[in-house]
Structure formats: C-alpha cells, structure tokens
Structure 1
Amino acid sequence: MEDNQSLSQRWDNYQPSKTLWFWSLVGAAVLTMIVGFTAGGWTTGGTATQMAQTSARDARAELVANLCVEKFISAADASQNLAKLKETSSYQRDSFVTDGGWTNLAGMKNKAPGAADLCADKLAAMDAIPARTVSPAQTSG
C-alpha cells in the first residue's frame, strides 16, 4: 500500500473482515434498541398491557367521581353536606363521600379505586353548590 494514496482511494480499497462486519451489525442493533426504548417511545408488550390497565382504572375512577359529584350536588341537602365535607379533615373526606353513598352506582358490583378521593377533591374545591336551572319541558302540539 502506498503512503501517498488519497483518503477516497484508501476507502475504496478497504475490505473489512467478517468479524468486523458482524460486530458492527451487533453494535448498530444494540444502539437502535437503546435509542428506541429510551427516546423512541418503544415499549414491551407487558408494559403496554400495564399502561392500558392503569388507564382503564383511572378512566373508571374519573367517570365514577364525576357521577358522584353530580349525585352529591343534586341532593336536597347538598349545601349542608358540602359544609360538612369541608369541615372534615382532608384524609377523611373520601370516607365521608363513601359513607354518604355518592360513589355507589346502580349495577356496579365493584368499587372504583380512587373515585371517592377524586370526588371529594372536586367537591372540596367548590365554593358553593352550583345553581340548578331547569328548562320547561317541550310539548308537542
């Protein structure tokens, strides 16, 4: 090999060994996986299943909490109950809501974990029970 060959000529003449090719491919595959799982958003099947279960549980709790708030504010004594809820310590509010039966839904066998906490937090954030406006029923004529 001559010392005065240009870089492009040396590049053209280079023939890597099979071992170098093998380890280059292994390195590229490992690097691709590292980038994919850390920055690319890839997940394993187990992680995806766990994420789906968590999302479903959280969505169910959010739905039950919203219905709980609706039941709570629709009750005749809602203003008094809201005052009692606010007087209750923050760590006992979920028990207050559960004991009041506002998280119980017809046809629901199992409790929704976290729903009572969410409901209590939403209710405690209210300054007052919102006014209800009922529009007259439409009659067909």
Structure 2
Amino acid sequence: MTFPEWTKPGIYGALGGAIAVSILGFTWGGWVTSGNAQTIAQDFATDEVTLAMVPVCLNMSAADPERAEKLAILQDASAFGRRNAMMETGWATHPGSDKPDRNLADACLAGLELDGS
C-alpha cells in the first residue's frame, strides 16, 4: 500500500502542533494536572477555614478573663515569637482540637491589630 506524498509531513505537523499546544496550555493557558489541582483546592480550603475561624479566635480572646495579661505578653514578644505566644494563649486552637493552628495564630494576630504588626 502506498501513501500519498504529504502523509509524512502531515503527521509530523500534527504531532508538532499537539506538542506545541500542550506546552502553551500548561505554561500560559492555565492547564494543571489532577494532582496539582487537588493541591490548589486543599490549600484554598485550608485558607478559607482559617479565615472563617478568625472571628472565633477573636471572640475567645474577648471572653478570656486573662485577656489583659495575655495581650501584654503578646505585645512584649518579639515579632518572631508572637506566633508561638499566640499559640500558647489557647485562642488559636480550633474548637474540638487539642493543638493550636499556626495559620490561625497568624490570622488572629492580624485580627487583634497589636501595634500595627
């Protein structure tokens, strides 16, 4: 069986075009793999849960009878140690959890607006 003369260049052109479209799609077109999409979705969900928990953290701080002492500790802590100090207050712990959340501690510190930090 004989093939027309244009078959070989046509197949090479189609293959080259498919490769070019794939490269452009994944680099500039916003295409992602399934694993990368799941990672992005998980990160987004974690961020949204943290943002939803900030009012709970602020309410816990407002209701704490030792609020003044704990705020003084937070203000006296260095910028580097504030997250750990916030985690020690117990305000950055999700209800039903035993351990404080680092992301929630950062968000709650921002919500408390301690001297602009």
TM-score range, shorter chain: 0.7 to 0.9
Q: Matches of 1:100 and 1:16 in 2, distance apart?
A: 78
Q: Number of residues paired by the alignment?
A: 112
Match of 2:104 in 1: 115
Partner of 1:47, secondary structure, is helix
TM-score (norm 2): 0.76
Matched, 1:92 2:78: no
Alpha carbons 2:83, 2:109 under 8 Å: kept: yes
Matched, 1:19 2:24: no
CA RMSD of aligned residues (A): 2.4
Q: Specify which structure has the bigger relative contact order, considering alpha-carbon pairs within 8 angstroms and separated by 6 or more residues.
A: 1
| Pairing of 1:21-100 with structure 2 (within 5 A) | 21-100=10-89
How far 1:56 moved relative to its partner?
1.9
Change (3 A) 1:89 1:119: same
How far 1:50 moved relative to its partner?
1.0
How far 1:116 moved relative to its partner?
1.4
How far 1:24 moved relative to its partner?
0.6
Q: Which amino acid aligns with 2:28?
A: A
The structure that has the greater radius of gyration is 1
TM-score (norm 1): 0.65
Show structure 1 runs of 5+ residues with no match: 1-14, 128-141
Change (3 A) 1:27 1:49: same
